[in-house]
Amino acid sequence: MITSQILHKTLKDNFGFEKFRVNQEQVINAILSGQDALAIMPTGGGKSICFQLPALLLSGITIVISPLIALMKDQVDSLKANGIAACFINSTQTEIERQSHFDSLRDNKVKLVYVAPESLSYLENLFSQISISLIAIDEAHCISSWGHDFRPAYTNLGYLKKRFPSTPVLALTATADKATRKDISKQLSLKKPMSFISSFDRKNLSLEVRPALDRVKQIIDFISNKPSESGIIYCLSRKTTEELAEKLQKAGIKAKAYHAGFDNSIRSRTQDDFINDDCQVVCATIAFGMGIDKSNVRWVIHYNLPKNIEGYYQEIGRAGRDGLPSETILFESYGDVIQLQKFASQGLNAEVQLAKLERMKQYADALSCRRKILLSYFGELVTENCGNCDICKSPPDFFDGTIIAQKVLSAIIRLKESEPLPVIVDFLRGSKNSYIFEKEYQNLKTYGAAADISWYDCNQYIIQLINQGYCEIAFHQQNNIRLTSLAREVLFEGEKVQLTTVQKNILEKTGSKDLKTKPAANSLFEKLRKLRYEISKEENVPAYVIFSDAALRQMENKRPMSDAEMIAIDGVGKAKLEKYGDAFINIIIEFQKNKTVKPKKEAGTYKETLLLFQSGLTVDKIALKRKLGLGTIISHLAKLYLDGETLDLHQFVSKQEVKLIYDAHLILEKTTALKPYFDYLEEKLGYDKIRLALAIIEKENRPT
Ligand code: ADP
Ligand code: ZN
């Protein structure tokens, strides 16, 4: 009888994890009791453990069917790093290599063998000589022509159940839709499979949509804040991937382009570089990602609007498989919508494609929690707002936009419903450009009626009116804007229109985000990362195979300095402790030592900051000049202030903001850690402001 205690011990000893994720233990129990099972978990949900762990407890061999050769290698590398004997069989190997794997299988020396469905025939002769305890079919949706990744070779897998009727079969996939699910069980001839369906919610992914205004600059600013974090930027066209990669390279970012037009060798090189942390950013078409198991993709950006929600969710799903917070940003542009609409209407199945695009657009234009919209699309009903999307973090402000709406709608009438959006904006704002004069639009009524609204805002308001159905884009007629029947009610029947304030100065907004402290190159995390990178090069495996980002973060926070402390870290099992424990512990001890001798040295460094500040230099300039992070300079100022220097900190943090932080200070029981404030204030105030405000509060509260 295998108890939960044994399962947990196996999990910790071999994989280093303390707890099971949702449904893992249940799936494992089903298999161990000899049943077939179907496990549906989102990407990053932890499907692999569901068959890797039972493989260790069962006496025979576990066969894992997996569609991609690159993935097999990474999975086998990960198992080996955990001290688990595994191998893979595929057509790229030499006959000699394969024979040696066959020998190990015959001698029962490996617990798991990975094989592509196309290569199953290699194992055929072995089947009578080895004992097979479990058959796991990864990416099982590939069996279904309903799905989006149909692989013909998968359709032959049904014979496995017939050949091994009493061996449990576990099918795994991240594809939710019901038709595919049914098809999987049927085609694999599963016997009364137990289904385990996890929620598709990926709470660790933040969701954000931004207007595409100046998106290259926005992207460069964003990446500059995370100089060592891997990310993917999805673009609509091959050309854009190349152009964008070039712009990023010019800004000093290690970026590469990837699309199906490149040679195979170039593509796999780019993919390897990304997986191995040698290339930070990949600008790619949707061709990129399927073969990537990299757990530390920290962010995903959509440079263009995706065609549908399925694709979008799959693509953002590539971020944060290790469960750490990860960011996703979608840039929405009116131009993209028009282009996609054109593609969709010309392609196969136009009606369905257009409807899917419409849902995508509604998501991007949403004024309520985005995660709710996503999950409801996949048939999951949630009642709570998520708190981790841009709408939840800063809900839109509504105002009475009736007058603006009336102006816009009458302008459209004056222009005879025969002009596209940009011309309407120019017209409303009283632009004096040649087109307007050529058409003599300056003589029409409502010309210049919205001269007091900025071009950008005016444009956004009209888009909102389109989204609310008062007017529409005539895609087949040069994208001219036309009225709908709803417009009448606004113009003649006194219907009120609600608009939302346009997110003010998105660039300013992202600019202020830049105030966030950059990760310091000499932080413990970076040192651990560097060691991990070096080991990964020596062992020729991806860095995340050595330790996940999540494990390194825990080491940074808990600072384990003995074997016993190290094995308590999630992700450190016995094998990894043995192999890597000392090296990582040494880095931590070294770091602690340096930290404790530092203060003496630092007196001078504060002084230097003080002198530069008193000479009138801005904080940015001081940071540049001293080659220190902005955050470091800010912390110097806070310290100097507390030490009694007279500095005007209110130029960085207003009295009102200090008040907010003061209130939080009381509620948070006067903690001195910064993150609780950041979270409590819903990320509205950056760490620098919090740090300075706390200094002000502390000084005011000191007994004099
Ligand atoms: P999937 O195949 O479902 O996308 P993986 O099996 O690759 O997911 O697991 C994703 C990540 O989560 C991996 O880094 C894995 O090591 C980690 N993981 C899996 N199970 C656990 C667990 N019980 N506790 C902590 N981390 C886990
Ligand atoms: Zn939300």
- What is the secondary structure of 594-653 as a DSSP string? HHHHHHHHHHHHHHHHHHHHHTT--HHHHHHHHT--HHHHHHHHHHHHHTT----GGGTS
Mean of all residue pLDDT scores within the chain: 90
Residue 601 has a CB neighbour count (10 Å cut-off) of 9
Please tell me the class of the 4-197 domain. alpha beta
pLDDT reported for residue 92: 87
Residue having the nearest C-alpha atom to atom 25 of ligand 1: 17
Q: Does the structural domain 524-594 have CATH classification 2.40.30.200?
A: no
Ligand 1: does its nearest atom lie under 6 Å from the Cβ of 172?
no
Say which residue, 474 or 66, is predicted with more confidence. Answer: 66
Domain ranges of the chain: 4-197, 205-392, 398-502, 524-594, 603-700
Position 620 pLDDT exceeds 70: yes
Ligand 1: does its nearest atom lie under 6 Å from the Cβ of 242?
no
Measure 682 CA to ligand 1 centroid, in angstroms.
29
Span 178-204, average pLDDT: 90
Ligand 1: does its nearest atom lie under 6 Å from the Cβ of 295?
yes
**C-alpha radius of gyration, the chain, whole number:** 29
**Predicted confidence band of residue 509 (pLDDT cuts 50, 70, 90):** very low
pLDDT reported for residue 703: 65
Residue type, 464: Q
Measure 160 CA to ligand 2 centroid, in angstroms.
44
Q: Which ligand is nearest to the CA of 205?
A: 2
Q: Which CATH architecture has domain 603-700?
A: Orthogonal Bundle (1.10)
Question: For 566, which DSSP code?
Answer: H
Task: Tell me if domain 398-502 and domain 603-700 are identical in fold.
Answer: yes
Q: Which ligand is nearest to the CA of 368?
A: 2
Mutate to test the pocket of ligand 1, among 17, 43, 544 (most ligand atoms within 8 A of CB): 17
Long-range contacts of 478-487 (CB under 8 A, 24+ apart): 478/420, 479/338, 479/420, 479/421, 480/417, 480/418, 480/419, 480/420, 481/412, 481/417, 481/419, 481/420, 481/421, 481/424, 482/412, 482/417, 483/409, 483/412, 483/413, 483/417, 487/409, 487/412
Measure 675 CA to ligand 1 centroid, in angstroms.
26
Gap between the Cα atoms of 58 and 382, Å rounded? 39
Per residue in 567-582, pLDDT (tens digit) is 999 999 999 999 999 9
Ligand 1: does its nearest atom lie under 6 Å from the Cβ of 14?
no
Q: Which ligand is nearest to the CA of 682?
A: 2
Measure 655 CA to ligand 2 centroid, in angstroms.
30
Per residue in 262-305, pLDDT (tens digit) is 999 999 999 999 999 999 999 999 989 877 889 999 999 999 99
Residue having the nearest C-alpha atom to atom 2 of ligand 1: 47
Ligand 1: does its nearest atom lie under 6 Å from the Cβ of 204?
no
Ligand 1: does its nearest atom lie under 6 Å from the Cβ of 45?
yes
Ligand 1: does its nearest atom lie under 6 Å from the Cβ of 17?
yes
**Predicted confidence band of residue 508 (pLDDT cuts 50, 70, 90):** very low
Residue having the nearest C-alpha atom to atom 19 of ligand 1: 46
Ligand 1 atom at shortest distance from the alpha carbon of 18? 24
Span 606-614, average pLDDT: 87
Measure 372 CA to ligand 2 centroid, in angstroms.
7
**Predicted confidence band of residue 85 (pLDDT cuts 50, 70, 90):** very high
Mutate to test the pocket of ligand 1, among 19, 41, 112, 321 (most ligand atoms within 8 A of CB): 321
Residue having the nearest C-alpha atom to atom 13 of ligand 1: 322
Say which residue, 631 or 237, is predicted with more confidence. Answer: 237
- Give the CATH superfamily of 205-392: P-loop containing nucleotide triphosphate hydrolases (3.40.50.300)
Q: Which ligand is nearest to the CA of 201?
A: 2
Per residue in 511-544, pLDDT (tens digit) is 444 444 456 678 899 999 999 999 999 999 999 9
What does pTM read for this prediction? Answer: 0.75
Please tell me the class of the 398-502 domain. mainly alpha
pLDDT reported for residue 522: 80
